Amino acid sequence: MNQPLNSKEPLIEIKNLFFTYEGQDKPTLNIPAFKVMPGENLFLFGPSGSGKTTLLECLAGVLQPNSGSLKILGKDLCLMKPAERDSFRAEHLGYIFQSFNLIPYLTVFENIILPLYLSPARKARLKGSDVQLVIRGLCGNLGIGDLADKKVLELSVGQQQRVAVARALLGTPDLLLADEPTSALDTDHREKFLKLLFEVAEHFGTTVVFVSHDRSIENLFSLSLSLQTINQS
Ligand SMILES: Nc1ncnc2c1ncn2[C@@H]1O[C@H](COP(=O)(O)OP(=O)(O)OP(=O)(O)O)[C@@H](O)[C@H]1O
Ligand SMILES: [Mg+2]
């Protein structure tokens, strides 16, 4: 479980952030100011091409902004060396990709445990816990408890989504970044999936930033914002 921060301290704080892709003359992101408070479930919407994935990748420290500051838990990712950003990401962040990025020929359990092999920081965060039990508990909470030993290619899209959530939440990250992971679900399953995601995130004390172009789900979140209101590009 994450320690609650001082409730007045933002979990994310962006100031004068610029990001331009190489070869482009106009920035994709120009965000003068943006904050997310701990415990929030933020829905950030915008049309295709508006920069949602670009912003998440900056928050994850995968893309390096050209200028400005981007603080998570008070630490400025823009001032970190690449190796520091990698270990900060592994320790504090979970990421659900637009296309899940699961490995189809591995089992559910193997997919979920994989980040621990790639990241000593994430493994260290689980020190003292029985990882087998933690993963099976997470799967149980997400309604895929009986699927842990199945290969991912044998699962439905909705079940794969829950595996992606379990993988992102393993090690109880402070921040979960979700890139339109519900786009393949029908409305009913989308709502169920989100309620489950929020329940598990609340249990772990994880703040959620979820981006999508589909506004039909925005009322399920504690806060909803248009990317275009914060991005002046
Ligand atoms: N690697 C790249 N190099 C150059 N331009 C890029 C690159 N990736 C994205 N872009 C451009 O940056 C803009 C924002 O892209 P981004 O992927 O962040 O949009 P998005 O809001 O996530 O869209 P979608 O809803 O389709 O996923 C687009 O105009 C896109 O063409
Ligand atoms: Mg995108």
Whether 172 is covered by a domain: the verdict is yes
> Measured between alpha carbons, how far is residue 128 from residues 106, 140, 168, 176 in Å?
26, 21, 20, 23
Residue 127 counted as domain residue: yes
In a domain, 92, yes or no: yes
pLDDT in tens, 90-136: 889 999 988 788 999 999 999 999 988 877 777 888 888 899 999 99
For ligand 1, is residue 49 a contact (CB within 6 Å)? yes
Retrieve residue 148's tokens.
């842990």
Contact assessment for residue 67 and residue 16, using Cβ atoms and an 8 Å cutoff:
yes
Residue ranges with strand state E in 46-155: 67-72, 75-76, 93-96
Q: Is the whole model's pTM more than 0.85, yes or no?
A: yes
CATH number of the structural domain spanning residue 204: 3.40.50.300
Question: Which atom of ligand 1 is found nearest the CA of 213?
Answer: 25
Question: Is any atom of ligand 1 closer than 6 Å to the C-beta of 50?
Answer: yes
Phi, psi values for residue 197, rounded to 5°: -60, -45
71 within a domain of the structure (yes/no): no
* Contact 167 CB / ligand 1 (< 6 Å): no
Give the Cα separation of 223 and 34 in Å (integer).
13
CA distances 179 to 20, 79, 134, Å, are: 20, 25, 25
170 inside domain: yes
Q: What are phi and psi of 110, to 5 degrees?
A: -65, -40
Q: Tens digit of pLDDT for each residue in 15-54?
A: 999 999 999 999 999 999 999 999 999 999 999 999 999 9
Q: Cα(52) to centroid of ligand 1, in Å?
A: 8
122 falls within a domain: yes
Domain limits at 114? 39-63+81-230
Dihedrals phi, psi of 44, to nearest 5 degrees:
-115, 115
Look at residue 58 and tell me if it is in a domain.
Answer: yes
Beta strands 41-45 and 223-226: pairing type? Answer: parallel
From the CA of 54, which ligand is nearest?
A: 1
The secondary structure element, H or E, covering residue 44 is strand 41-45
Residue 155 has pLDDT above 90, yes or no: yes
CA-CA distance, 178 to 197, in Å (whole number)? 10
Q: How far apart are CA 190 and CA 216, in angstroms?
A: 10
d(C-alpha 114, C-alpha 105), whole Å: 13
Residue 96 maps to a domain: yes
Count of structural domains within the chain:
1
Ligand 1 site, residue 231, Cβ cutoff 6 A? no
